[in-house]
Amino acid sequence: MTYTNPPTVPRKSATFDDYTLSEIRRAASTGIYDIRGAGAKRRLPHFDDLLFLGASMSRYPLEGYRERCGTDVVLGSRFASKPLELKIPITIAGMSFGSLSANAKDALGRGASAAGTSTTTGDGGMSREERSQSKMLVYQYLPSRYGMNPEDLLKADAIEIVVGQGAKPGGGGMLLGQKITDRVAEMRTLPKGIDQRSACRHPDWTGPDDLEIKIMELREITDWQKPIFVKVGGSRPYYDVALAVKSGADVVVIDGMQGGTAATQEVFIENVGIPTLACIRPAVQALQELGLHRKVQLIISGGIRNGADVAKALALGADAVSIGTAALVALGDNDPAREDEYRALGSTAGAYDDWHEGRDPAGITTQDPELMGRLDPELAGRRLANYLKVMTLEAQTIARACGKNHVHNLEPEDLCALTVEAAAMARVPLAGTSWIPGNGGF
């Protein structure tokens, strides 16, 4: 028997993996950072790492069909004379007309209205499609103030002052030339086809003391009727929530780093902000210390996918959740049925995130009339409504199993964690133990 030296298997670096190598080559070739849509793609501690305990001998469950489990939520009861009354604790997050097609906005409005919840405008003003289809519409007040006007402000059912978003806390919006069509340009008062970079700070206020005055102005303009939300990206939730409340917000929205964006630097999306799971308990703690938990409502977003995520967010103390990426998938985004077209764009179904290029085969993140025409708003709206109903049923299923007649009665004590990280972030014990890592310190 001849004996040859056995070859070593070629070994790729864990540090310099294929994606990293390709990004170095791309940067060297173009001289500009990578821009993409969606939220953080890296693996993060998330709701998957939590489990419900369910009822057993010491707790009694509710029957699925006969015994009621409420899901309604009122947003903005603190100061607004006309708070928002949602049937389900799931809302549609702000996504701009411009980044999304008119048909996609139309479909979001239809689906949300059918499910008894609200949609939210975005960094591009209020489109007629969305206003006409959304029974409840939250009007975002953003640093760019594109399309901001008092007429639409008075048409809105609530106002959301956007301080930041989870994909890029501290960053401004971006919309690249391909998507600045005539209509988008007109709504934003911009030249057609330019690369638009919106501001990262509001043009006429900085900091919580100024924000308090800005909120007062918006309340005066709208005769103290509309609920005022303040949305921040997940970074320092304990302080941000306390300051939003001190500034006079009715509702605080916290968007974790899995929250999506239309277009931002990859380096920003993956490296700035904290996971959604880590945002909730500090935010709730701030509300509790101010005596305002469940009085100033907390909305959590960033990577919410199913009824279990909803139930877990509520159990940790949120009043409602908000979905963006998941809603787009329900409409038809990244559907394997269009795999050939995703391949042609150098991507694959499930990974397509070049939403800023405006070539979305699903007709959602585009302004191209042909592509947009592929999305049937009525059908897509029905799909979204179905999805929202399923999520709600799932959350109710879990709540009933934990013996709750309302999803808001879920508590952190109904949960345990699978990993030490999730236990520390959610401040619930590691499964089978009474150990909450870091308890006592903050």
Partner 1 sequence: MPVVDLATAELRTLNQALHHQAPGSNETAWEVLNPHGAHAVAVGLNAPVTVTIKGSVGYYCGGMNREAQVVVDGSAGPGVAENMMSGQVRVKGDASQYAGATGHGGLLVVEGNASSRCGISMKGIDIVVRGNVGHMSAFMAQAGNLVVCGDAGDALGDSIYEARLFVRGSVKSLGADCIEKEMRPEHLKLLGELLGKAGFDGIDPTSFKRFGSARKLYNFSVDNADSYG
Partner 2 sequence: MLAQMLGTMCDRGPDSAGFAVYGTPRSGLAKVTVQSPAPDEAFSGLAASVGGAVGTEVAIERRGSHAVLTVPADRLEAVRDHIRDQHGTVRVLGAGDAIEIYKEVGYPTEVAAVFGLANMAGTHAIGHTRMATESAVTTLGAHPFSTGPDQCLVHNGSLSNHNNLRRTLARDGIRFETENDSEVAAAYLTAQMGQGSSLGEALEKGLDDLDGFFTFVVGTKNGFGVLRDPIACKPAVLAETDRFVAFGSEYRALAALPGIETAKVWEPEPATVYFWER
Single out the residue of 199, 337, 379, 390 in contact with partner 1 (rule: CB under 8 A).
199
Provide the token pair at 269: 């999306």
What is the per-residue DSSP string for 154-181?
Answer: HH-SEEEEES--TT-TT---EE-GGG--
Distances from the Cα of 255 to the Cα of 16, 144, 218, 260, 298, angstroms: 30, 19, 23, 9, 11
Across 302-429, where does the E strand assignment appear?
A: 320-323, 415-417
Could you give the CA distance from residue 382 to residue 441 in angstroms, rounded to a whole number?
Answer: 47
Three-class SS state of 232: strand
Residue 131 makes CB contacts below 8 A (sequence gap 6+) with: 109, 137, 152, 155
The site partner of 192 among partner 2, partner 1, none (C-beta below 5 to 8 Å per kind) is none
Near partner 2 by CB under 8 A: residue from 78, 236, 294, 382: 236
Residues 6+ apart with CB under 8 A from 128: none
- Rounded to a whole number of angstroms, the minimum distance from the CB of residue 236 to partner 2 is 7
Site for partner 2 contains 212 (CB under 8 A): yes
Considering the complex, state which of residue 250 and residue 354 has its C-beta at the smaller distance from partner 2: 250
Asked whether the beta carbons of 172 and 196 are under 8 A apart, the reply is no
Separation of alpha carbons 61 and 58, rounded Å: 10
Residue 67, interface with partner 1 (CB under 8 A)?
no
How far is 198 from 230, CA to CA, in rounded Å?
Answer: 19
Candidates 120-128, 182-190, 208-216, 378-386; binding stretch for partner 2 (CB under 8 A):
208-216
Regarding 413 and contact with partner 2 (CB under 8 A), the answer is: no
Residue range at the interface with partner 1 (CB under 8 A); choices 109-117, 199-207, 235-243, 248-256: 199-207
d(CA 332, CA 400): 31
Amino acid, res. 93: A
Nearer of residues 170 and 437 to partner 2, judged by Cβ: 170
62, 178, 239, 430: residue in contact with partner 2 (rule CB under 8 A)? 239
> Which of partner 1, partner 2, none has residue 209 at its interface (CB below 5 to 8 Å by kind)?
partner 2
- Which C-beta is closer to partner 2: that of 206 or that of 271? 206
- Work out whether 209 is an interface residue with partner 1 (CB under 8 A): no
Q: Which is nearer to partner 1, 14 or 28 (CB)?
A: 28
Q: At 153, list the tokens.
A: 């402000």
Determine, following the binding rule CB under 8 A, whether residue 217 of this chain makes contact with partner 1: yes
Positions 128 through 187 that interact with partner 1 (CB under 8 A): 144-145, 148-151, 153, 177
Residues present in the chain in total:
442
- The binder of partner 2 chosen from 20, 132, 189, 206 (CB under 8 A): 206
CA distance 381 to 205: 37
- Among the listed ranges 81-89, 158-166, 222-230, 288-296, the one in contact with partner 1 (CB under 8 A) is 222-230
CA quadruple 313, 314, 320, 326: dihedral positive or negative? positive
Q: Residue 379, interface with partner 1 (CB under 8 A)?
A: no
Nearer to partner 2, 54 or 207 (CB): 207
Residue 339 Cβ vs partner 2, minimum distance, rounded to whole Å: 46
Closest distance of CB 382 from partner 2, Å: 46
Q: Residue 221, interface with partner 1 (CB under 8 A)?
A: yes
Query: What residue 52 binds from partner 1, partner 2, none (CB within 5 to 8 A, per partner kind)?
Result: none
243 part of the interface to partner 2, by CB under 8 A: yes
CA dist., res. 142 & res. 128, Å (int)? 19
- Please tell me whether residue 413 binds partner 1 under the rule CB under 8 A: no
How does strand 90-92 pair with strand 84-86? unpaired
DSSP 74: E
Q: What is the total count of residues that contact partner 2 (CB under 8 A)?
A: 11
The residue ranges that bind partner 1 (CB under 8 A) are 30-32, 144-145, 148-151, 153, 177, 188-191, 193-195, 197, 199, 203-205, 210, 213-214, 216-217, 220-224
Q: Under the rule (CB under 8 A), what is the footprint of partner 2? A: 201, 206-210, 212, 236, 239, 243, 246
